[in-house]
Chains A and B, each alone.
Chain A
Amino acid sequence: GDSVTQMEGPVTLSEEAFLTINCTYTATGYPSLFWYVQYPGEGLQLLLKATKADDKGSNKGFEATYRKETTSFHLEKGSVQVSDSAVYFCALSPIQGAQKLVFGQGTRLTINP
């Protein structure tokens, strides 16, 4: 079945460090891919999205590129801030018309000043 695998956390970085959170997926067909962010005590918010191979989603300095050849959608940011501390979820929409997203387990990120 369809699945999403994220790198295990927690991840701890210093402010201004480069961030990568790995996400790989298994799906039949051509899924859409998402990154959601959950700040402490809050619900999830859509961070970025890509709908086809080689698309790059970007928002708030974060980027992720849909790589069909490696079935990956890694999240990157060039210089993290303390305010980026949150839990990050990778997700996919399996096929057109699918009703439910498939979520990864989430990766907790802590940025130290």
Chain B
Amino acid sequence: DVKVTQSSRYLVKRTGEKVFLECVQDMDHENMFWYRQDPGLGLRLIYFSYDVKMKEKGDIPEGYSVSREKKERFSLILESASTNQTSMYLCASSLPDSYYGYTFGSGTRLTVV
């Protein structure tokens, strides 16, 4: 079964910590995405990568960075976590054409205290 795997389901971090959220896909997809999901705000795109080492800012990149050193792995980095980054984070992957849709991971619920 093809998969997008997010390394943690639940994470609790302290304000100011550097936080890494990891995502791995086994479908050889070119595109990978990081979204955050908050009540009433739907899905908001943080960053998008269309190839190894290539990235593009989404709608809300402030306070985040990403790394894609290998095709299968896409990491989201919170340089200095803040309480307003408490959220559900969703990773997705796809072929280059979104016509085929996305495959999502199970999500990481991050709480920053």
Contacts and interface: CB of A to CB of B under 8 A. Distances in A.
A41 B42 CA distance: 15
A97 interface: yes
B104 A51 contact: no
Interface residues of B, number: 26
Interface string B39-78: 0011101001010000000000000000000000000000
B31 A99 contact: yes
A56 to B, nearest CB: 17
Interface string A32-57: 10101000011111100101000000
B101 A43 contact: no
* Interface bracket on A: 20 to 34
Interface string A90-113: 000110111111011110000000
Contacts of B90: 43-44
A25 interface: no
9 smallest A-B Cβ distances: which pairs? A43-B104, A105-B42, A93-B98, A44-B104, A43-B106, A43-B107, A93-B99, A101-B98, A103-B43
19 contacts: A32-B98, A41-B107, A42-B106, A42-B107, A43-B6, A43-B90, A43-B92, A43-B105, A46-B103, A51-B99, A93-B97, A93-B101, A94-B98, A99-B96, A99-B98, A100-B33, A101-B98, A101-B102, A106-B42
